[in-house]
Amino acid sequence: MRATKQKIMKSAKQKTPKMEAEFLKNLPSEIVIEILSRLPLRTIGICRRVRKSWRDLLGTREFADSHLSKSVQGMVVCTEFDNYEVFAFEDGLDLEDPKRRYREFTSFDCSELGISICNIKGSVNGLLFLNPLSSISDAYYICNPITREYIEFPYEQRLLDEDFNGTVNYGFGVSKVSGQYKVIKTVHVNKSICHVYTLGTGKWRRIPAGPPLGDNKNSSGAFLNGCLHWFVDDDEGSDLISCFDLETETFSMFAHPPLPLSKRHQVIVALGDYLCICDNTDENEIALWVMKEYGNDKSWTKEFVIRKGYRYCRGRPSGIVYPIKLFEDGHVLMTWEDRCKEFSMLYYSNKAKTTAEVHGVFGISSRMQAMPYTPSFVSLKSFPKEDVSLFR
């Protein structure tokens, strides 16, 4: 009896793979997309190599949209301007279990794009906007670390109609209705000039400029709710934020909370569903302001006052803090640049009301950038008129 049972079980195991393959083969493509889009990233990569039909489905816009709708926000970290690592958050970044803080799922080096060093100027739906720091470069890059694709698009200096030595601000986002991905470049010499590059068009366009933007080296255009946000030039004591609607390509303004006159120590970011401002003016503390109701400048709330902790540079505790993620339980992940231009990763525990340095993952670097990143399979090949290249 036992032998018969074992024979039946063995037979069932032998048939299972074929039965499963036939079952999946006969499913409608929309069901297969729904199933595959729920798998972990590494498993999706394996599925690419299992069946040609799956590989084809995984390359469609339908799959990319389905996966993106379920994708959980992680983080991209760049050290020394050229080494990029993409991380997933695990278990709310539980400080009591350091082994379960982060999980790296891909990385790349700028040299693979044929360039040396870059700044991250935007991160939207799995796409990164990179700005080369070389003074001889006139090109920008959009890349997807998951699909390993990138495009290069130049910016022609003649678009400025004059020699330029003024303030530059960038932004990268996607419009809410048309779904167009756009790069914004605003410059200010004696007047403001604004150009837009829409992915898939292969060219820059000049549009009516908004108010002059501040010379804030700490902030790129914060993308939220289909709009980009910058501080307005504060030379005349402005207390305004400039808001650029990517759908209508128009500027508007609203007030920010009461902040010191100079915005050089403030950072404006999008954290989850909220527009936030991190005020770094105080040497020892930061104030994190949150706009509770988007567009309502009366809803600014000072949500946290966080001690930076102490690392002395020439005898003084100091630095600028860049918020990366605001967790549901009130914990905050951030990078810190001190006056010695060294960077580290900090974690504020809302439970303990303490700030601690995150060790064992990033360490201290002479240069670090970190930004929220949502992994996606949005393919740059879906944008016409773009020359797509691959990196390892």
At 208-230, the pLDDT tens digits run 998 888 777 667 899 999 999 99
pLDDT tops 90 at residue 338: no
Same domain (yes/no): 111, 172 = yes
Neighbours of 341 (CB within 10 A): 11
Same domain (yes/no): 263, 314 = yes
Mean predicted confidence (pLDDT) in 127-136: 80
Query: Last residue of a domain, which of 16, 48, 65?
Result: 65
Same domain (yes/no): 32, 108 = no
Burial of 183 (0-12, 13-18, 19+ CB in 10 A): buried
pLDDT tops 80 at residue 107: yes
Q: According to the per-residue pLDDT averaged within each range, which of 46-55, 104-113, 300-309, 372-381 is highest? A: 372-381
Three-class DSSP category at 115: coil
Question: Model pTM?
Answer: 0.86
Instruction: Note the pLDDT of residue 286.
Output: 85
pLDDT tops 70 at residue 77: yes
Mean predicted confidence (pLDDT) in 334-344: 75
Does residue 353 contact residue 95 with C-beta atoms inside 8 Å? no
- Which CATH number covers residue 194? 2.120.10.80
Task: Give the residue numbers spanning the domain of 362.
Answer: 71-390
Same domain (yes/no): 27, 130 = no
Residue, of 261 and 199, whose pLDDT is higher:
199
Same domain (yes/no): 115, 52 = no
pLDDT band at 139 (very low <50, low <70, confident <90, very high): confident
Q: Provide the domain count of the chain.
A: 2
Same domain (yes/no): 61, 132 = no
Same domain (yes/no): 321, 220 = yes
pLDDT tops 90 at residue 388: yes
Q: According to the per-residue pLDDT averaged within each range, which of 83-97, 292-306, 351-365 is highest? A: 292-306
pLDDT band at 347 (very low <50, low <70, confident <90, very high): confident
Same domain (yes/no): 34, 147 = no
Same domain (yes/no): 284, 203 = yes
Instruction: Note the pLDDT of residue 32.
Output: 86
Instruction: Note the pLDDT of residue 362.
Output: 61
Percent of the chain with pLDDT over 90: 33
Indicate the DSSP class of residue 245: E
Same domain (yes/no): 189, 55 = no
Residue, of 90 and 127, whose pLDDT is higher:
127
pLDDT tops 60 at residue 389: yes
Q: How far is CA 85 from CA 76, 238, 372, in A?
A: 6, 37, 12
Same domain (yes/no): 221, 369 = yes
Same domain (yes/no): 53, 75 = no
pLDDT band at 314 (very low <50, low <70, confident <90, very high): very low
Query: Last residue of a domain, which of 65, 86, 104?
Result: 65
Instruction: Note the pLDDT of residue 241.
Output: 92
pLDDT tops 70 at residue 129: yes
Mean pLDDT score across all residues of the chain: 81
pLDDT tops 50 at residue 4: no
Pick the closest to residue 33 from 57, 61, 55, 68 (CA basis). 57
Task: Read off the tokens for 223.
Answer: 């993308």
